[in-house]
Amino acid sequence: MKPDVLDVKDLKVYYHTPRGAVKAVDGVSFQLFAEERLGLVGESGSGKTTSAMALLRMIKAPGKIEGGEIWLEGADQVLARHGGKNGNGQYAKGGKVNLQTLTDEQMVSLRLSAIALIAQGSMNSLNPVMRIRDQIADGYQDHGYKLTKQELKERTADLLNRVGLRPSVADMYPHELSGGMKLRVCIAIAISLSPKVILADEPTSALDVVVQRQVMETLRRVQEELGASVLLVGHDMGLMAQAVDRLGVMYAGKMAEVSPVHDIFTKPLHPYAQLLIASLPSLDVKGEFKGIPGLPPSLLEDIPGCPFAPRCPYKMERCEVEKPILKEVAPNRHVACFLVEGAK
Amino acid sequence: MTALLEARHVTKIFGGGFFTKSYTTALENFSMTIENDPPSVTAVVGESGSGKTTLARLLLGLVEPTRGQVLYKGEDLRKIGGRERRVFRRDVQVIFQDPFEVYNPFYKVDHVLTTPIEKFGLAKSRQERDSLVVQVLEAVGLRPEETLGRHPHQLSGGQRQRIMVARALLLRPRVILADEPVSMIDASLRATILGSLLKLNQEFGISILYITHDLTTAYQVSENIVVLYRGNVCETGDVELVVKKPLHPYTRLLVGSVPLPDVNRRWAAEAPASSIGQKADPNKGCRFANRCPNAMEKCIRETPPLYRVDEKRAASCYLYDDKPQLRSEDMMEVFIKGTPRLKTVVGVQ
């Protein structure tokens, strides 16, 4: 197995509201291996986007990272290049750096260069009054690259070419581009400093399926060329089945199951994953999908047991009083459920 | 026989005013009838810009057609007023995409249910009104005691959308136009909402026009399907035929691009691009020609008519010009009619 480039341990992010702390992410752990695509799915409010944003330390008030560790491979080299505190052993754990221990300035230098984001609706985040060329150049300038005009031009053309756009796009403004093209520009910006980790948060949710497929194929290609890893956050199980190697299923701020995508679709182990997959409509047989009765719990309350217990068809007494812990129940399969744990 | 709701050669053009030359044909020469005897479920599928929402707005009388007519019981929607308009407003109900924006946050959710009862005089007394509300909430699988008396923000998106289904049911309409009713709902709740819509169709005899971009749910709920592309019908007819063996190049591309939640069926290899290149006039010829792998010279010059490629399906593509032509107003001839299907989908709580 490949080494991990990102190791998240017991991550906790709470939003502090007048009614109490909303535990949006409550003890999430996972690893992202080198050159793999890991998916993170969940319903709205399950904590998938909050988890991704926490990896960049981009949680805004009233949200706060309450605990946990985020170890990122390759971050020490970027920090050394920037002349700040380098990987002098203070942060190191086999070459990794715990992002939680860095200053805000150090974190700024890591974003885009070591860990890049393609945000939700990112194609609408392009500056409408700046040419694409200048928006790509922004990243280089911010990270202290001193490029000549000619170098910058070549790099821009190369980046656009890699995401399947003509070099002439560099001189265009965002409104001259279609949604799919704008997203390609965002991918070009995300890979401009060759990061080892790319976070993609629902990148294609605003696109039509035909364009979505083309863009996902582009993302896969540039990721493979770069040797980077992708964390794809989304709610579309169909897209996940087509696009990722491993899949993490989140529920109410906790990780229910992390398994290779083939295993989770053919034999899901966590009851939530099972019901979620059964609820998906297919194009083969009519009338095979059914909803999951009940609603997710309020994250304001302290749930003593498994958060899925009230909706779970296999609920046991133990599930209501004891929290199941994510454990490796079979090779490479991590599940937080007493049922599976007992079967082992 | 006059149809309940009919679009007759409807064209809707946006833009192209006095000062600007550019215009967009949102829907072109579209004809369709919606009956409720027998009640039907028809899906209209298309990507953004295909004209599907324009169609819904035209059928509701919210926008007027540039050419052609929208008829309710044989009368032009633009001409009916007063009493007849009230009947129309009752008969034809709509469920919009966004279950967050249709509520006034200051009122309790009861308000959206009691207002139509008052406006249409559906109940004589308070008790009657309350029992009506309870009845429709239960019909869509909501527990009234958990729903009534709450403000919209206290309910989930799925609950709010089901209240909209309940509101539509309250008026005992003959047709419900559902414009992307589940696209903002989580997967685990989607099936439940679609289940309650189908229940209205089967138990209350209401016809449903299900407008969506999602081919999989369209396939699940409908009998017939209309695939739109840039305001034109590409392929239409029996949903089993259109989805399982698509014939129009666009439908093929669409069906091949759906990300199936099945790890054993990967996306097919990418289709080769068109050899024709960019078209000169975006409002002329086959709209799909510039993306079509099978595009011919003819496709750029003239909009292809519908060809009846099967008994139960038509496609507007010159690849099938050896088949008999079908006039646009006869499109519904290929629809399968009123086979009542009792399905097992309904996962209502």
> Residue B211 is which amino acid?
I
Is A209 an 8 Å CB contact of chain B? yes
Residues of chain A with Cβ-Cβ distance to B188 below 8 Å are 43, 275-276, 279, 291-292
Which 3 state secondary structure label does DSSP give B241?
Answer: helix
d(CA B257, CA A122): 22
Return the residue of A nearest to B190 by Cα: A291
Which B residues in the span 34-93 are in contact with A, Cβ-Cβ below 8 Å? 47-48
Please indicate whether, in this complex, the C-beta atoms of B215 and A280 are within 8 angstroms of each other.
Answer: no
Would you state the pLDDT for residue B306? 94
Q: At residue B31, what are phi and psi to the nearest 5 degrees?
A: -125, 140
Is B218 an 8 Å CB contact of chain A? no
Burial of A285 (0-12, 13-18, 19+ CB in 10 A): exposed
Please indicate whether, in this complex, the C-beta atoms of A210 and B213 are within 8 angstroms of each other.
Answer: no
Structure token digits, residue B80:
């009916």
Structure token digits, residue A227:
């040797």
Residues of chain B with Cβ-Cβ distance to A238 below 8 Å are 216, 258-261
CA separation, residue A198 to residues A103, A115, A231, A233, A258 (Å): 21, 6, 6, 11, 19
Is B272 an 8 Å CB contact of chain A? no
Please indicate whether, in this complex, the C-beta atoms of A212 and B158 are within 8 angstroms of each other.
Answer: no
Residues of chain B with Cβ-Cβ distance to A239 below 8 Å are 259
Structure token digits, residue A231:
């964390």
Strands A4-17 and A20-33: antiparallel
Q: Are B333 and B326 in contact (CB under 8 A)?
A: yes
Please indicate whether, in this complex, the C-beta atoms of B216 and A238 are within 8 angstroms of each other.
Answer: yes
Would you state the pLDDT for residue B41? 93
CA separation, residue B46 to residues A209, B186, B290 (Å): 10, 21, 17
Structure token digits, residue A331:
């090779």
Residues of chain A with Cβ-Cβ distance to B263 below 8 Å are 241, 261-262, 265-266
Is B154 an 8 Å CB contact of chain A? no
Which 3 state secondary structure label does DSSP give B178?
Answer: strand
Domain topology for A1-74+197-208+229-344? Rossmann fold (3.40.50)
Please indicate whether, in this complex, the C-beta atoms of A213 and B255 are within 8 angstroms of each other.
Answer: no
Please indicate whether, in this complex, the C-beta atoms of A279 and B188 are within 8 angstroms of each other.
Answer: yes
Please indicate whether, in this complex, the C-beta atoms of B257 and A210 are within 8 angstroms of each other.
Answer: yes
Is B153 an 8 Å CB contact of chain A? no
Is B260 an 8 Å CB contact of chain A? yes
Return the residue of B nearest to A296 by Cα: B156
Return the residue of B nearest to A277 by Cα: B261
Q: Are A179 and A145 in contact (CB under 8 A)?
A: no
How far does B310 lie from chain A, in Å, by closest CA? 21
Would you state the pLDDT for residue B349? 34
Would you state the pLDDT for residue B1? 66
- Residue A333 neighbours by CB distance under 10 Å: 19
Query: How many domains does chain B contain in total?
Result: 1
Domain for residue B50, yes or no? yes
Mutation for testing the A interface, residue in B140, B252, B260 having most A CBs under 10 Å: B260
Residues of chain B with Cβ-Cβ distance to A209 below 8 Å are 47, 213, 215, 254, 257-259
Q: What is the CATH number of the domain that holds B275?
A: 3.40.50.300
Return the residue of A nearest to B50 by Cα: A208
d(CA A122, CA A290): 33
Q: Are B11 and B67 in contact (CB under 8 A)?
A: yes
Does the pTM exceed 0.80? yes
Domain for residue B234, yes or no? yes
Please indicate whether, in this complex, the C-beta atoms of A209 and B259 are within 8 angstroms of each other.
Answer: yes
Which A residues in the span 246-285 are in contact with B, Cβ-Cβ below 8 Å? 261-262, 265-266, 275-277, 279-283
Rounded-to-10 torsion of CA A49, A53, A54, A59:
-110
Q: Are A240 and A249 in contact (CB under 8 A)?
A: no
Is A241 an 8 Å CB contact of chain B? yes
Is B282 an 8 Å CB contact of chain A? no
Would you state the pLDDT for residue B273? 55
Which of A208, A237, A275 has its CB closest to that of B261? A237
d(CA B183, CA B190): 8
- Residue A290 neighbours by CB distance under 10 Å: 18
Cβ-proximal residues to B135 (8 Å cutoff; 6+ apart), any chain: none
Residues of chain A with Cβ-Cβ distance to B189 below 8 Å are 291-292
d(CA B96, CA B77): 21
Sheet (strand A229-234) strand order: A115-118, A197-201, A229-234, A37-41, A246-251, A254-260, A333-335, A327-330
d(CA A182, CA A172): 11
Q: At residue A328, what are phi and psi to the nearest 5 degrees?
A: -80, 105
Is B229 an 8 Å CB contact of chain A? no
Is A292 an 8 Å CB contact of chain B? yes
What DSSP letter does each residue of A60-77 carry, written as one string? Answer: PTTEEEEEEEEEEETHHH
Would you state the pLDDT for residue A88? 47
Structure token digits, residue A168:
């002439």
d(CA B8, CA B65): 10
Would you state the pLDDT for residue A55? 94
Would you state the pLDDT for residue B346? 43
Please indicate whether, in this complex, the C-beta atoms of B259 and A239 are within 8 angstroms of each other.
Answer: yes
Give 10-residue mean pLDDT values along chain B (349 residues).
Answer: 88 79 86 89 91 92 93 91 90 88 89 91 91 89 86 84 90 92 80 86 91 92 93 94 94 90 76 53 82 87 92 94 91 78 44
Q: Are B208 and B178 in contact (CB under 8 A)?
A: yes
Cβ-proximal residues to A47 (8 Å cutoff; 6+ apart), any chain: A13, A24, A25, A26, A28, A250, A252, A253, A254
Query: Nearest CA to B100 among B146, B142, B150, B157?
Result: B157
Which 3 state secondary structure label does DSSP give B11?
Answer: strand
Please indicate whether, in this complex, the C-beta atoms of A209 and B254 are within 8 angstroms of each other.
Answer: yes
Tens digit of pLDDT at every position of chain A (344 positions): 678 999 999 999 999 988 888 999 999 999 999 999 999 999 888 899 999 999 999 998 889 999 999 999 888 777 777 655 444 445 555 678 889 888 888 899 899 999 999 988 777 889 999 999 999 999 999 888 888 999 999 999 999 999 999 999 999 999 888 888 999 999 999 999 999 999 999 888 878 888 899 899 999 999 999 999 999 999 889 999 999 999 999 999 999 999 999 999 999 999 999 999 988 888 887 876 677 887 788 888 888 999 999 999 999 999 999 999 999 999 999 999 999 875 54
Which 3 state secondary structure label does DSSP give A3?
Answer: coil
Residues of chain A with Cβ-Cβ distance to B267 below 8 Å are 213, 217, 242
Return the residue of A nearest to B154 by Cα: A298
How far does A238 lie from chain B, in Å, by closest CA? 4
Mutation for testing the A interface, residue in B201, B252, B262 having most A CBs under 10 Å: B262
Is B278 an 8 Å CB contact of chain A? no
Would you state the pLDDT for residue A33? 95
**Residue pLDDT, tens place only, B239-281:** 999 999 999 999 999 998 888 888 887 776 665 555 555 555 6
Q: Where are the beta strands (DSSP E) in chain B?
A: 5-15, 23-34, 41-45, 67-72, 75-76, 92-95, 175-179, 207-212, 224-229, 232-238, 306-310, 313-315, 325-326
Expressed as residue numbers, the domain containing B168 is 5-334
- Counting other chains too, the contacts that A56-64 makes at CB distance below 8 Å and 24 or more residues apart are A56/A107, A56/A111, A56/A115, A56/A117, A56/A199, A57/A99, A57/A100, A57/A102, A57/A107, A58/A117, A59/A13, A61/A16, A62/A15, A62/A16, A62/A17, A63/A13, A63/A14, A63/A15, A63/A16, A63/A24, A64/A13, A64/A14, A64/A15, A64/A16
Burial of A213 (0-12, 13-18, 19+ CB in 10 A): buried
Q: Are B30 and B44 in contact (CB under 8 A)?
A: no
Q: What is the DSSP letter of B207?
A: E
Please indicate whether, in this complex, the C-beta atoms of B188 and A275 are within 8 angstroms of each other.
Answer: yes
Query: Nearest CA to B9 among B76, B69, B79, B75?
Result: B69
d(CA B90, CA A30): 53
Domains of chain A, by residue range, sit at 1-74+197-208+229-344, 122-194
